[in-house]
Amino acid sequence: MSGEKKSSAYDDSKITTISSLEHIRLRTGMYIGRLGDGSNLNDGIYVLLKEVIDNAVDEFIMGYGHKIEIEIKDKLVKVRDYGRGIPLSKVIDAVSVINTGAKFNDEVFQFSVGLNGVGTKAVNALSSHFRVISYRDGRYFDAVFERGALKSQKQGNASGQSNGTFVEFLPDEGIFGDYAFNVEFIEQRLWNYAYLNSGLTLVFGGQKYKSSKGLYDLLYDEVGDGALYEICHYGGKQIEFAFTHTVNFGETYFSFVNGQFTSDGGTHQSAFREGILKAVNEFFQKNYSGLDVREGITGAISIKLKDPVFESQTKNKLGNTEIRGWIIAETRSGVVDFLHKNPAVAKKIEEKIASNERLRTELNSVRKEAREAAKKVALKIPNLKDCKFHLGDDGEKGSHSTIFITEGQSATGSMVSCRDVYTQALFSLRGKPQNVFSRRRADLYKNEELYNIMIALGIENDMEGLRYARIVIATDADYDGFHIRNLLLTFFLNYFEELVVAGRIYILETPLFRVRNKKETRYCYSLAERDAAAADLAGAEITRFKGLGEISPSEFGQFIGEDMRLISVNVKSLKSIQGTLEFYMGKNTPERRNFIMENLI
């Protein structure tokens, strides 16, 4: 037909078959999520490390081996466990053939949360060098791979070697680019392994990571002396939990399934919260509100499931609904028993609930006034350009929703025409927000700008209304921008620390310089990158972006697209928050000035 578009030839030559390991390299995101460069806790290199350590931990869970040794030097990772060791005749298959492994057999591994028969295979495929040695009953088998392809194998006597498995791998720079391991991220993960596996010792960088009291230790290390009473701790066959109250605002939880940190919670976390409420009301013979019982609570829960069902590929939210009943019942029973045995703790909890009731009454009055004032100003949230999908919406897009909190209208103007209107919202600050350090929660509702931020996020009443999966602070790379960033971080850390713990707060990285000549344009994020680009590009023009508003919409699109660079905001422990805020945002001006002068580069 005239004018008809000619189609590409489609015949048997277009049908290709690739190996499963080639598929992992071709579609990496399907197996390990994001790639990244190591600057984010969820970047791919940490997923590879986790998969190898998970196998070693599974051995411990099944009763074999009480020590795991980890070493990272020049990007080469080494992990040695002292479990049973992979059966020697199956070593190559176990690390290179998809859907091969013992985790499909409940008699060997009962509780596992790895990549379901893909774990070490993904590590192998995505490493430029991968080596595995299994030691078993005086014999060994040693295999070396490059990008999933077997290069050598040998076996023989291993006298003097304890049973177990040794794995070393070098993440492929052809896949991950120029990456670096962040030691703090690794330490955080290793402590979680220790807390969740009492009696297991992990060794890394000359330090031992070991816990004798499990989640009790996790909670104590998080809140320290900030606990209002002795931590309630319970351990059962498939559930362990701990909680206490602090003077902090909101609720903060650390939840795990088969060792996997579920940052978005899920059925187990919500059942845990309900179990605490039922226990408190049963013990005191009252009908307390959940808000009053849980305000200021910090808790941790870990459960073991044979068949966990997660609501996303990153496994950060549990979806099993059938477990709700028994978790509520066992939590209620454990907490009631604890309160009967600890009357002093029960008294402290009763006092905390009474205090929360008084504060809520005051807040309700302030909220009402704030709502009435907001109605007089506008029918919709000022300075918010919303998106179409929100967290909690049906479909996948809601889980990818992002709100950018920007510095003024000029930055918003650059972003508004290039954003994804389905998943990206913008909130424009009108100036510098108030420093809220050491202020009461009621003060937030009396400040129009901060109240509008809460409304935009949907958290003016509680966290259940949160409308976005990611909250991104986008400010200029100058002194004013850094100050505004710190004021916003103070706002979130002081009153909504649970958003930080859940990994929802980020800082947007945008380039500081544009270096270009007639043939090429490069965007640089540091002085070193600028100088390198200037040396490479003859006769280059260098532009310094002093503010987000100076980046044109056509350029900005690539910086908030699929490959946008985000710095995840996290804290080492909850107990460090107040001290850090006191130093940077409190009234200790001489000490802060001296620190800045001594560390000025």
**305-353 pLDDT per residue, tens:** 888 888 765 568 888 899 999 999 999 999 999 999 999 999 999 999 9
* SS3 of residue 38 by DSSP: coil
Is pLDDT of 588 > 50? Answer: yes
Contact 32, 48 (CB under 8 A): yes
- Domains along the chain with CATH numbers: 20-209 (3.30.565.10), 215-360 (3.30.230.10), 379-510+545-573 (3.40.50.670), 513-543 (no CATH)
What's the Rg (C-alpha) of the chain?
27
Name the more confident of 297 and 9: 297
Q: What is the pTM of this model?
A: 0.76
Chain mean position to CA 65: 29
The H or E element containing residue 366 is helix 343-377
pLDDT value of position 20: 67
Chain-wide mean pLDDT for the chain? 85
CB atoms < 10 A from the CB of 471, how many?
25
Name the more confident of 239 and 588: 239
Q: What is the 3-state secondary structure (H, E, C) of 79-117?
A: EEECCCCCCHHHHHHHHHCCCCCCCCCCCCCCCCCCCCC
Name the more confident of 548 and 269: 269
- Nearest-angstrom CA–CA distance, 388 and 360: 32
Instruction: Supply 480's token pair.
Output: 């004013």
pLDDT value of position 11: 55
For residues 425-431, give the mean pLDDT: 90
How far apart, in Å, do the first and last CA atoms of the chain sit? Answer: 71
Residue type, 568: S
User: Counting Cβ atoms within 10 Å, is residue 285 exposed (0-12), middle (13-18) or buried (19+)?
Assistant: exposed
Query: Worst-scoring range by mean pLDDT, 110-114, 387-391, 563-567?
Result: 110-114
CB atoms < 10 A from the CB of 578, how many?
18
Is pLDDT of 137 > 90? Answer: yes
- Nearest-angstrom CA–CA distance, 482 and 488: 10
Question: What are the φ/ψ torsions at residue 169 (nearest 5 degrees)?
Answer: -150, 150
Name the more confident of 96 and 488: 488
Instruction: Supply 438's token pair.
Output: 């050491």
- Nearest-angstrom CA–CA distance, 420 and 590: 45
For residues 363-381, give the mean pLDDT: 66
pLDDT value of position 374: 61
- Angle at Cα 50 formed by Cα 47 and Cα 54, nearest 5°? 140
- Nearest-angstrom CA–CA distance, 276 and 147: 49
Q: Report the side by side order of strands in the sheet with 76-81.
A: 149-157, 139-146, 127-136, 164-171, 76-81, 67-73, 201-204, 207-210
pLDDT value of position 337: 97
pLDDT value of position 299: 96
pLDDT value of position 393: 65
Residue indicated by tokens 């044979």: 306
**Helix, strand, coil shares of the chain as percentages rounded to 5?**
40, 20, 35
**526: pLDDT confidence band, cut at 50, 70 and 90?**
confident
By DSSP bridging, strand 297-303 and strand 252-257 are: parallel
- Nearest-angstrom CA–CA distance, 277 and 336: 10
pLDDT tens by residue, 473-499: 999 888 888 889 989 999 998 889 889
**544: pLDDT confidence band, cut at 50, 70 and 90?**
very high
Is pLDDT of 127 > 70? Answer: yes
For the stretch 557-567, what's the b/e string if a residue is b when 16 or more beta carbons lie within 10 angstroms of its beta carbon?
A: bebbeeebbbe
Query: Worst-scoring range by mean pLDDT, 16-25, 250-259, 281-290?
Result: 16-25
Strand partners, 154: 142
Name the more confident of 105 and 513: 513
Query: Worst-scoring range by mean pLDDT, 33-37, 64-68, 112-116, 482-486?
Result: 112-116
* SS3 of residue 416 by DSSP: helix
- Nearest-angstrom CA–CA distance, 340 and 344: 10
Strand partners, 424: 402
pLDDT value of position 105: 44
CB atoms < 10 A from the CB of 78, how many?
15
Residue indicated by tokens 């330490």: 187
pLDDT value of position 115: 43
Name the more confident of 557 and 330: 330
Residue indicated by tokens 């919303």: 386
From the list 298, 294, 305, 243, the residue with the least C-alpha distance to 268 is: 305
The H or E element containing residue 270 is helix 267-284
Contact 331, 279 (CB under 8 A): yes
The H or E element containing residue 240 is strand 239-245
Chain mean position to CA 193: 15
Contact 56, 85 (CB under 8 A): no
User: Counting Cβ atoms within 10 Å, is residue 261 exposed (0-12), middle (13-18) or buried (19+)?
Assistant: middle
Strand partners, 234: 241
- Nearest-angstrom CA–CA distance, 73 and 136: 27
Instruction: Supply 126's token pair.
Output: 């995505």
Give the whole-number percent of the chain exceeding pLDDT 90.
Answer: 49
Strand partners, 541: 516
**Could you please report the per-residue DSSP string of 19-45?**
-HHHHHHHTHHHHHS----SSSTTSHH
pLDDT value of position 601: 46
Instruction: Please name the residues in contact with 585: beta carbons below 8 A apart, sequence gap of 6 or more.
Output: 435, 437, 486, 487, 490
Strand partners, 253: 299
pLDDT value of position 409: 77
CB atoms < 10 A from the CB of 32, how many?
27
The H or E element containing residue 426 is strand 424-429
Question: What are the φ/ψ torsions at residue 421 (nearest 5 degrees)?
Answer: -70, -15
Instruction: Supply 496's token pair.
Output: 């909504």
CB atoms < 10 A from the CB of 144, how many?
16
- Nearest-angstrom CA–CA distance, 194 and 256: 13
Is pLDDT of 362 > 80? Answer: yes
pLDDT value of position 71: 97
The H or E element containing residue 303 is strand 297-303
pLDDT value of position 14: 47
Question: Up-side HSE of residue 235: CA atoms within 13 Å toward CB?
Answer: 10
